[in-house]
Amino acid sequence: MKYQSHLQFAALSSVLVAAACATQVTPVSTPTRQVQGSCQPAFGAQICSYAEMSGTRVVALGATVPMAAIDNSPVDGPMVWPPVVEAVVPMPAEARAATGVDHLTVYWEHHGHPPTPFLTPHFDFHFYTISNAERQTIDCASKTKPAILPTGYSLLDVEIPGLGMLTGLCVPGMGMHSLVTSELAATTPFSGTLVLGFYNGRPIFFEPMLSKVKLEQKKSFTLPLVTPPGLAVGVHYPARFEAVYDASIPGYRFVFSGFGS
């Protein structure tokens, strides 16, 4: 009888374990989806914004930049102050709501600009966390700099011949430009860096600044990206940036990911 009781207990245990396993639910991950934003012309090509979403969460955000836009950028041109924007590309509405990243501006610098390491032809890709209308009101009348900069960054006052002193390297329609400190002492032209932008003491953009020479290599690359203190409520900066060369475009996919919550 005792042996039979053990068998009955073992059988009952097996039934209970099986029942417990049957009630366990395997978590279902939310599939990601591509969200297309807007496209705007630049040098005979279309620069387009996009986002990758998982539900309401932004997995990645960025833009596609065809090689045609890079290759067709003019070698020379008139020096205009402030610089003329080549394209203003809104981010997808869902991504704007989730991250606060509003739009991209594209500038082409024929001969580069001071400080010295950046006097080489390059593109400025500003990703703004303010509206386009607010960006357009930036006149650099405010000389207020952020109280704290991220480690490794500087915000210089730069004397430009014919223009005077630019506080915090402020450009009307753009804002102040904070540069990687170690790169300011370089004796060779830069190839790519991540600039942080401010105005009225608060962060307003992050910017891959990329030389034409680097983009012409048609190779994927990454740049380090940090989050400055003082972000506005509802604004989330990405933790990572990668420029992925995609021969099917042909061109680059700028991929920002790791957005905080």
Segment 205-221 mean pLDDT: 98
Q: What are phi and psi for residue 107, nearest 5 degrees?
A: -125, 145
Residue 156 lies in a domain: yes
Q: Which amino acid is at 215?
A: L
**Domain contains 111:** yes
Of 222, 166, 175, which Cα lies nearest the Cα of 194?
222
Question: In angstroms, rounded to a whole number, what is the distance separating the alpha carbons of residues 168 and 179?
Answer: 10
Are the beta carbons of 176 and 167 closer than 8 angstroms? yes
Identify the pLDDT of residue 236. 97
Tokens of 102: 């509003």
Averaged confidence pLDDT in the chain: 90
Cα torsion at 138, 143, 149, 153 (round to 10°)? 80
In a domain, 19, yes or no: no
pLDDT tens for each residue of 112-151? 998 999 999 999 999 999 999 999 999 999 999 999 999 9
Whole-number Å distance between alpha carbons of 244 and 27: 31
The answer to whether residue 203 scores a pLDDT higher than 90 is yes
Is residue 23 one of the residues assigned to a domain? no
Tally the domains of the chain.
Answer: 1
| Longest distance between any two alpha carbons in the chain, whole Å | 105
- Token pair listed for 15: 């039934």
pLDDT at 222 over 50: yes
Contact at 8 Å (CB) between 199 and 232? no
pTM higher than 0.75, yes or no?
yes
In a domain, 139, yes or no: yes
Residue 22 lies in a domain: no
Residues 44-68 as b or e (16 or more Cβ within 10 Å = b): ebbbbbbbbbeeeebbbbbbbbbbb
Q: Predicted confidence band at 210 (pLDDT cuts at 50, 70, 90)?
A: very high
Distance in angstroms (rounded) separating the CA atoms of residues 41 and 171: 23
24-68 per-position pLDDT tens digit: 554 556 789 999 999 999 999 999 999 999 999 999 999 999 999
Q: Does a structural domain hold residue 5?
A: no
Q: Indicate the pLDDT class of residue 79, thresholds 50, 70 and 90.
A: confident
Q: What residues are paired with 45 via a beta bridge?
A: 42
How many whole angstroms separate alpha carbon 56 and alpha carbon 225? 23
In a domain, 59, yes or no: yes
Range of the domain at 39: 30-257
Q: Residue 108's pLDDT is what?
A: 97
Residue 199: which of 224, 157, 169 has the closest Cα? 169
Contact 42, 23 (CB under 8 A): no
The DSSP element (H or E) to which 40 belongs, if any, is strand 32-42
Which secondary structure element, helix H or strand E, spans residue 140, and what is its range?
none
